[in-house]
């Protein structure tokens, strides 16, 4: 019985570099063989032979890790962009609510309890009769405005939590994408 011969070092050339980069950019090696062979200008059989070499697969894995990091980064960037757009709307609503409260507070009479808070609204009712005309003024808490302010505050707090979750999950995304890309054996 012959002793196994030591494996020769991998011979890198331009085609091998192109193939390693192409395979590394794919999430599934099985689907990428054809693409890598076309990119490198070699046969699928050559790609499969190279894939049996640990040094070549080490380069492919390094490229896959970079692809996973890039995908996670892009996903995080998109999430942050979406968050920024949503937060701009929340800020706009909050500014509108504050403007209403401030303007009402400036118009308020000191004699109305809670009038200076800006959360009170005045309801004026005019009644016309055959020979009478009356005007009734009632000061009430603007429940809708108060509810809108509370809902907007809760939404802002939830979005802040979501932002933290996006930041925390960036590393998890890299790990998930890289592990998913390795789910298929290299020699399919």
pLDDT of residue 173: 62
Q: What is the full DSSP assignment across the chain?
A: -PPPPPPPPP---HHHHHHHHHHHH-S-HHHHHHHHHHHHTS-HHHHHHHHTSHHHHHHHHHHHHHHHHHHHHHHHHHHHHHHHHHHHHHHHHHHHHHHHHHHHHHH--TTSTTGGGS-EEEEEEEEE-SS-EEEEEEEEE-HHHHHHHHHHHHHHHHHHHHHHHHHHHHHHHHHHHHHHHTSS-TT-
pLDDT of residue 185: 40
Residues comprising the chain, all counted: 188
Consecutive 10-residue runs of the chain (188 residues): their mean pLDDT?
61 86 74 85 91 89 81 76 81 85 72 73 81 80 84 84 72 59 42
pLDDT of residue 134: 81
pLDDT of residue 46: 93
**Cα 40–Cα 44–Cα 50 angle in degrees, nearest 5:** 75
Contact indicator for 61, 72 with CB cutoff of 8 Å: no
pLDDT of residue 43: 92
170 contacts: CB under 8 Å, gap ≥ 6: 72, 73, 76
pLDDT of residue 176: 59
Q: Which residues of 132-152 are buried (b: 16+ CB within 10 A; e: fewer)?
A: eeeeeeeeeebeebeebbeeb
């Amino acid at each position: 019985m012959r002793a196994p011969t030591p494996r020769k070092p991998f011979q890198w050339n331009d085609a091998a570099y192109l193939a390693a980069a192409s395979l590394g950019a794919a999430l599934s090696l099985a689907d990428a063989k054809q693409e890598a062979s076309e990119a490198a200008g070699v046969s699928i059989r050559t790609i499969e032979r190279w894939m049996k070499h640990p040094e070549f697969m080490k380069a492919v894995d390094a490229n896959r890790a970079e692809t996973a990091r890039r995908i996670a980064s892009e996903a995080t960037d998109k999430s942050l962009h979406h968050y920024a757009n949503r937060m701009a709307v929340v800020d706009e609503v909050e500014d509108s609510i504050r403007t209403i409260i401030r303007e009402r507070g400036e118009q308020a009479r000191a004699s109305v309890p809670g009038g200076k808070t800006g959360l009170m609204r005045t309801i004026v009712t005019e009644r016309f009769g055959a020979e009478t005309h009356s005007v009734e003024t009632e000061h009430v808490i603007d429940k809708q405005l108060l509810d809108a302010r509370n809902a907007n505050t809760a939404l802002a707090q939830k979005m802040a939590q979501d932002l933290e979750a996006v930041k925390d999950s960036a590393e998890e995304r890299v790990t998930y994408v890289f592990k998913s890309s390795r789910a298929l054996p290299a020699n399919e």
